[in-house]
Amino acid sequence: MIKNILTILLLALTLTGCYNIENRTSDSNNTQTTQSNNIPEYQQVINRLEGFASTPEEYFELAEAYMQRSGLSLNEMIQNISDTTKDAQSPFLAFVGSVKTSEQTQATSIEDLNKATDYHMIIIGDRCQEGADLTDFEKDVCLYKGLAQTMEVANTINAMSDDVSKINTQGDAKLQASSCAMQYAFNGIVEKQCSVSEVGEIRFDESDTTYDRIAVYSNGKEFEYLLHKDEKTHTRELIVTDGYCSADNFKSRQSQFTDASYYPCPVTTQEGKEEITTNNNLITSLNEGTDAILAVADNYKELAQSVKDFKIEITAVKKGETSQEDQTIIKVEVDMQDMIEYLNEQNTLAR
């Protein structure tokens, strides 16, 4: 089945006319600039269209430029789905562990993928659904949107962990603490393998945003996280962070904690930009990303089932509520509790 998804998606990328930034010919001025300054073509596209894009085609070109800048290689991603799910104990986490961001921090990669999704949304909105009447161009947009959002999920889990590839053997202490932080933010419950304490607030000057700080103690280690209250739901959400930075300068971001005046550094560093949380970058991206891919696979039942496999693995088919025969037709949605329970079940330190 996984081989089917690889074959069909590669055909889709080749035959449906999807935009390929590496093969697009720039105008003479851009070509000359690229050759003289060695500026990557995707950066040329961003420089040319950011703030100036006005047509669906230009928004699509801009989105794909951000996808490439994030380090995402579509062919490598699809190949990883095939390679890591053959004999893996946990195919979803095996795929996550295979994801690497080329010459990028997790923060930069996640932010670029979110920008790509934003531009895809300008073009297509919420119309990437099974059975939707889409043009060939819109199908291209849905396919790329789905793949970008799948990568958002993988990069977010990697940012929350030390080494996902060891989760089933040695365990991952940071991911265990992250699961505890998600649970605490979700419903205020402190899991038995952790302890949580509120340690005050932190305001980052450049974004003019104040967060609640919590310390999570797990497996003999202490980890700090940031929570932010959603103004619409009045609930707190766990902020996706990467590295540490000072309160007055996001450019001070560093990978290791070496200074008591440094704090977990939010991925989002722009004032007025929507917060990147585990709610939107794990749950929403996983569900919407799958829907987007399914929107272009209505004629391929096996492909449709294959892109549901990760979600079925995470939810355990809603804990056995659905029979094996019904799995081919059910619409599986992952919620926050599903994700928390799944990560805990996979992590040897949480068992």
Is pLDDT larger for residue 80 or for residue 76? 76
pLDDT at 76 over 60: yes
What average pLDDT score do residues 238-246 get? 93
Residues 4 and 302: beta-carbon distance below 8 Å: yes
pLDDT at 260 over 90: no
What average pLDDT score do residues 45-68 get? 97
- What per-residue confidence (pLDDT) applies to 98? 81
pTM for the full model? 0.84
The enclosing H or E element of 254 equals: strand 249-254
For residue 336, what pLDDT band results from cuts at 50, 70 and 90?
very high
> Of the candidates 333, 303, 350, 351, which has an alpha carbon nearest to the alpha carbon of residue 2?
303
- What per-residue confidence (pLDDT) applies to 31? 43
Is pLDDT larger for residue 324 or for residue 209? 209
What average pLDDT score do residues 321-341 get? 69
- What per-residue confidence (pLDDT) applies to 272? 67
- pLDDT tens for residues 124-167? 999 999 888 999 999 999 989 998 998 999 999 999 999 888 88
- What per-residue confidence (pLDDT) applies to 101? 57
CA 102 – CA 68 distance, rounded (Å): 10
- pLDDT tens for residues 170-228? 899 999 999 999 999 999 999 888 999 999 999 998 887 889 999 999 989 999 999 99
- What per-residue confidence (pLDDT) applies to 143? 87
Max mean pLDDT range (17-21, 26-30, 241-245, 268-272): 241-245
pLDDT at 12 over 70: no
- What per-residue confidence (pLDDT) applies to 56? 98
Max mean pLDDT range (38-42, 61-65, 99-103, 151-155): 61-65
What average pLDDT score do residues 231-238 get? 83
- What per-residue confidence (pLDDT) applies to 221? 93
Classify 285 as helix, strand or coil: helix
What average pLDDT score do residues 6-15 get? 42
User: Which residues have CB under 8 Å from 323's CB, separation 6+?
Assistant: none
Is pLDDT larger for residue 122 or for residue 252? 122
Percent of the chain with pLDDT strictly greater than 90:
47
Pair of tokens at residue 107 = 């923060």
Q: What is the DSSP string of 109-176?
A: HHHHHHHHHHHHHHHHTT---TT----HHHHHHHHHHHHHHHHHHHHHHHHT-S-GGGTTTT--HHHH
Max mean pLDDT range (18-27, 65-74, 99-108): 65-74
Q: 190-204, 261-275, 305-319 — which is least confidently predicted? A: 305-319
What average pLDDT score do residues 329-338 get? 79
What ranges do the domains of the chain cover? 2-163+279-337, 166-275
What average pLDDT score do residues 304-322 get? 69
CA 103 – CA 40 distance, rounded (Å): 13
pLDDT at 6 over 90: no
What mean pLDDT value characterizes the chain?
81
For residue 71, what pLDDT band results from cuts at 50, 70 and 90?
confident
- What per-residue confidence (pLDDT) applies to 78? 67
